[in-house]
Structure formats: C-alpha cells, structure tokens
Chains A and B, each alone.
Chain A
Amino acid sequence: EPEVTQTPSHQVTQMGQEVILRCVPISNHLYFYWYRQILGQKVEFLVSFYNNEISEKSEIFDDQFSVERPDGSNFTLKIRSTKLEDSAMYFCASSSGWTYTFGSGTRLTVV
C-alpha cells in the first residue's frame, strides 16, 4: 500500500535555528498538506499545496513558515527561526480529493 514518508522521525533544534521537515507524498496525489499536533492537543491544519503553489494556509502558518516541492517528489516544510512553541508533531499528508494519507510524522523539539 502506498505510504507518505516523513524524515526525520525526530528532530531536536535550538530556538532560533532553521529546520526543514521532509516528506515524500504518494506519487499520483495532487494535494499536499502539513498539519501539526501539539502534545495532547488536536491535529491542526497548517497549509495546503496544489499545482505548485499554496492553496490555503492557516493563521499558524506565518512568515516563519514556508513550503516547497523542489523536485516533483519531495515536499518540505521550513521553519526559519524556531520558537519553543513550535515543538509539536508535524504530519505531512497527500490526497487525491478525499482519499487522504498521512505520514507518521516528525516530532520537532525546540530547546
């Protein structure tokens, strides 16, 4: 069964540092997403990406965040200057309409 692959599974970074979270979506999917989940809380939408551009973003997705699909395969989330409150699980997902598949997530810890 096709999978969404995320790397790394766990990243520890110092406050103020840049991090890049990587995802390989399912190859024939057209929509790509990043969601995050702060420990013990609900999963929150960050951004959706379609046709090589952001189609929607939440209030959380401020100027510190950016996404890219650099090579037609990978889908990345960059946080330019991490804050303590960015510590969370970050889930990548891809879909072909309503058929969503989530990755296993990257646990980001900002210290």
Chain B
Amino acid sequence: GESVGLHLPTLSVQEGDNSIINCAYSNSASDYFIWYKQESGKGPQFIIDIRSNMDKRQGQRVTVLLNKTVKHLSLQIAATQPGDSAVYFCAENYGGSNYKLTFGKGTLLTVNP
C-alpha cells in the first residue's frame, strides 16, 4: 500500500542552528499534511499543517514546505532549542470523510547545548 516515509531517522543539531526534517509521501491524492512532535511518554502534539493547494506555511519558528512535484514535505525549525528535542512525525490524509491520518516513521531530533 502507499505510505508516508522519512529520509532520516535521526538528526542531531547544535542549539541555535536551524533544523530541517524531511518526509516523502507516495500518495498523489494526499491533500492535507500535518507535522507532529512527540516527546517521550506523551502523545503526538500538533505543530503545523498544510493543505495541498499551498507550497509553504509558516508558524512560530516553524515552516512547512510542500513540493507536490516530488511528493516531498519538510519541516524547518529556526533557532533550534533543547526543548525541541523530540521525535517528529509527518502525517497525511488522502481524502475520505473520517479525517484518518497516516503517519510516517518519525525522525528523532536531538539538540545539543
């Protein structure tokens, strides 16, 4: 079946640097994407979302970029802080009325002080 996947399972950055986490998806019918942050022992926490009719969306210190041509999604975190250390998942919905999400495998981001 089609699925969402991640290029890098781990990413280690220095505090203050920018982080980029990538995600590839294979379902061209996907129309909505979300990035989640998961800290140890907690459930996924919403970070930012984007619809397929957009290329870029910015939030507070985070930016999501969507490249539909190559089916690629990225999350950019500016001025990464130790509190950003977590596993980051992309998730997609490819239509349907249940708002069901299909998650990628996750990238572990470690921020070194």
Contacts and interface: CB of A to CB of B under 8 A. Distances in A.
B43 A105 contact: yes
Interface of chain B, helix or strand or loop or mixed? loop
A71 to B, nearest CB: 23
Interface residues of B, number: 22
B99 A31 contact: yes
Contact of A31 (B41, B46, B98, B103): B98
A56 interface: yes
Contact of B105 (A41, A91, A93, A102): A41
Contacts of B104: 42
A100 B98 contact: no
A100 B101 CA distance: 10
A102 B44 contact: yes
A42 B41 CA distance: 14
A50 B42 contact: no
Given A42-B103, A98-B32, A98-B49, A91 B98 contact: no
Interface string A24-59: 000000010101000001111100101000011000
Contact of B98 (A48, A101, A102): A48
Contact of B100 (A48, A103, A104): A48
25 contacts: A35-B103, A41-B105, A42-B89, A43-B44, A43-B89, A43-B91, A43-B101, A45-B100, A48-B100, A50-B98, A56-B96, A56-B98, A56-B100, A95-B99, A98-B49, A98-B99, A100-B34, A100-B99, A102-B43, A102-B44, A102-B45, A103-B43, A104-B42, A105-B42, A105-B43
Given A33-B100, A42-B103, A104-B41, 11 more contacts: A41-B105, A45-B100, A45-B103, A50-B98, A56-B98, A56-B100, A91-B43, A100-B34, A100-B46, A105-B42, A105-B43
Closest 4 pairs between A and B when the two form their complex, measured CB to CB: A102-B43, A43-B103, A48-B98, A42-B105
